Structure 1
Amino acid sequence: MHYTGTIWRPPYEAKSLLIEVTAGCTHHKCKFCTLYDDLPFKFRMTSLEDIEADLLESQQQIRTWPGTQVKRIYLVGANPFVLNYEHLKNIAERIHHYYPECDSIGCFSRITDISLKSDKELKELSNLGYDGITIGVETGDDNALAFMDKGYTANDIVEQTHRLDLANMSYNFFYLTGISGAGNGVNGAIESAKIFNQTNPKIIGSSMLTIYPESKLFNEIKNGNWAEESELEKLEEIKTLISLLNIPVYFATLGASNAVWIEGNLPTDKKKMMSHLEKVCLPDNESKLRSYRKNLKHL
């Protein structure tokens, strides 16, 4: 199988067959991100020949397990949805050739990747099985988006996800708790809720900002241009976001960056989730939570 560097996928894609179609990130400018620093290049497309070889290799292995069906395939790479319509179509056609039982195809996408497709192309990609796209929107706080060099605005999130809605292509969000910086966490959550409440994600997965020395953000901190939220402020931020969300969505703290686990379906489980967060948002817990953060060697 043609896997390059560390392979990242959302926790909820654990049962999906992973096929690499890109490596690295086309943007590669976010100040907090170090996920693809182990690659000797910024971005690379996998050839259709290698993709087909991986589909064949995986098929030959999986077919030795009687009764096993591949219902979902997740295309890995930082943002495979950046690939143009024809390329994504060719990949889908090969997937359906080797796995006719496959119902859906997912991948990571940047907001800007969606804007590269016409409405017609998005609809046709949906018809080809693309669904459950995961978007690292991070926040709806425009100040944080600009400072972190995300390359889009909060309104772009609303505009482009509405186009996915029209194409009948579902999507999930990743929210980065702590991205607004010290003293701004609650406001960041308020601004994010305003944006998210205008969209229709199936899942909002919250990861928690962890700053590594290799990141551009680390240098911003050293230069006095930005300060990190305390661990308790980050939890207050999550609590604020949950309290203000009024859309039906599954919300969970996903991944090792979260020392506190919270999950539930909103709005049904809102009170239970808020109650749990209130119990852990205690002053005495700051040092314990901070120790967890400092000892987190890798995401």
Structure 2
Amino acid sequence: MRIRMDIEKMHFTGPIWRPPYEAGSVLLQATVGCTHHRCKFCSLYPGIEFRVSPMSEIVSDLEIIRHYQPRARRVFLTGANPFALSFDRLKELAMTVHDYLPRCRIGTFSRISDIKNKTVEQLKELRSYGFNGLSIGTETGDDMTLAEMNKGNTAQDTFEQCRKLEEAGIEYYIVYLTGLAGKGNGRRNALASAKLFSRLKPYIISVVSLTLFPGSELYGDVANGNYTVSPEHERLEELMTFIGNLENRTTLLADTVSNPVPINGFLPEDKNRILAELRKMRENIGEAELQTYRRNIRSL
């Protein structure tokens, strides 16, 4: 009963999201909502305005975390993109975390634009304060798709900002979103994205597949006939093209609920196995069955 009462006192607002690979991290709300909130495919933070958590709330939550997990090794900051906070604010936040959890490293979501306003020297300093492991919603390396989806950055922006993280020694994870370019455009999207991602050194490439929910602008575009969703088999072809053209040494994870069959492995060692599994899926699972699976997804 005491645990439940304490958890209920923690300051969480709206939907709380964290990547699957942060499952073992304690969660701490640093911001609420998204600074951008204009990506056409997103419905994660409906009606929630961006705000920064007061330090008093953060301290209160850290006191509860320290009581139950005094030896916690990793904190994941919730909110769509807490790395949007200024260098000084992030430094203060890290120092406060370490007052309560001295051994903790700190992970968080980030937009490409959040990195842009920080110098390499500032990033190095944040690394020294425990920030390591930024999950970046890159989605694609195709400039046409980035513009159409209103991501707010270009492929060159992604390249430049991720290279800054590499120079600073900050581990980062990027996302590829199959189906985002729409019907008939998967190959273009895959080739452009593989070309960009292959120039970078992400620790993880996470693959998800476009799943639309009411509330997103793109959901309305589908209803109005202004956007045609990629068929499932086309998405599998897109994914095979993407993986087949990657030249990274990295971990590939395609095991969220948006992926009909979970796929993961290390590249390049497991590339042939992964491609064989995807070909088998395409040959043995019909389009209708895959579409039914997609329609039955209730949340991500």
TM range (shorter): over 0.9
State which of 98, 101, 105 in structure 2 corresponds to 1:96. Answer: 98
* Deviations, residues 98-139 of structure 1 (Å, cap 9, x unaligned): 11122x211000000000112221111111111110001000
| SS of alignment partner, residue 152 of structure 2 | coil
Q: 2:55 aligned with 1:48, yes or no?
A: yes
Q: 2:29 aligned with 1:28, yes or no?
A: no
Q: Give matches, 1:100-119, under 5 Å.
A: 100-102=102-104, 104-119=105-120
Letter in 2 for 1:32: F
Gaps of 5+ in 1: 64-68
Letter in 2 for 1:258: N
CA distance in 1, matches of 2:114, 2:279: 38
Q: How far does residue 237 in structure 1 lie from its aligned partner after superposition?
A: 1.0
Q: Is contact 1:18–1:74 with CA below 8 Å preserved after alignment?
A: yes
CA distance 1:96–1:79, shift in 2 (3 Å): same
CA distance in 2, matches of 1:263, 1:162: 25
Q: Is contact 1:232–1:283 with CA below 8 Å preserved after alignment?
A: no
Moved more, 258-267 or 218-227: 218-227
Q: How far does residue 284 in structure 1 lie from its aligned partner after superposition?
A: 5.1
| SS of alignment partner, residue 132 of structure 2 | coil
Q: Is contact 2:221–2:227 with CA below 8 Å preserved after alignment?
A: yes
Q: How far does residue 222 in structure 1 lie from its aligned partner after superposition?
A: 3.0
| SS of alignment partner, residue 150 of structure 2 | coil
| SS of alignment partner, residue 296 of structure 1 | coil
Q: Give matches, 1:1-299, under 5 Å.
A: 1-37=10-46, 40-63=47-70, 69-102=71-104, 104-282=105-283, 285-299=286-300
CA distance in 1, matches of 2:14, 2:255: 22
Moved more, 224-233 or 194-203: 224-233
Letter in 1 for 2:255: L
| SS of alignment partner, residue 38 of structure 2 | coil
CA distance in 2, matches of 1:254, 1:48: 35
Letter in 2 for 1:36: Y
| SS of alignment partner, residue 174 of structure 1 | strand
Q: How far does residue 224 in structure 1 lie from its aligned partner after superposition?
A: 2.9
TM-score (norm 1): 0.95
CA distance in 2, matches of 1:131, 1:2: 23
* Deviations, residues 39-90 of structure 1 (Å, cap 9, x unaligned): x432111011111111111101224xxxxx2111111110000000111001
CA distance in 1, matches of 2:179, 2:49: 26
Q: Is contact 2:22–2:76 with CA below 8 Å preserved after alignment?
A: yes
| Misfit runs of 4+, over 4 Å | none
Gaps of 5+ in 2: 1-9
> What's the counterpart of residue 3 of structure 2?
none
Moved more, 278-287 or 156-165: 278-287
Q: How far does residue 254 in structure 1 lie from its aligned partner after superposition?
A: 3.3
Q: How far does residue 206 in structure 1 lie from its aligned partner after superposition?
A: 0.7
Q: How far does residue 4 in structure 1 lie from its aligned partner after superposition?
A: 0.9
Identical aligned pairs, as a percentage? 45
Q: How far does residue 255 in structure 1 lie from its aligned partner after superposition?
A: 1.7
Q: Is contact 1:232–1:282 with CA below 8 Å preserved after alignment?
A: no
> What's the counterpart of residue 66 of structure 1?
none
Moved more, 212-221 or 175-184: 212-221
Aligned residues: 291
Q: Is contact 1:170–1:201 with CA below 8 Å preserved after alignment?
A: yes
| SS of alignment partner, residue 225 of structure 2 | coil
CA distance 1:283–1:180, shift in 2 (3 Å): farther
Q: Is contact 1:140–1:196 with CA below 8 Å preserved after alignment?
A: yes
CA distance 1:248–1:284, shift in 2 (3 Å): closer
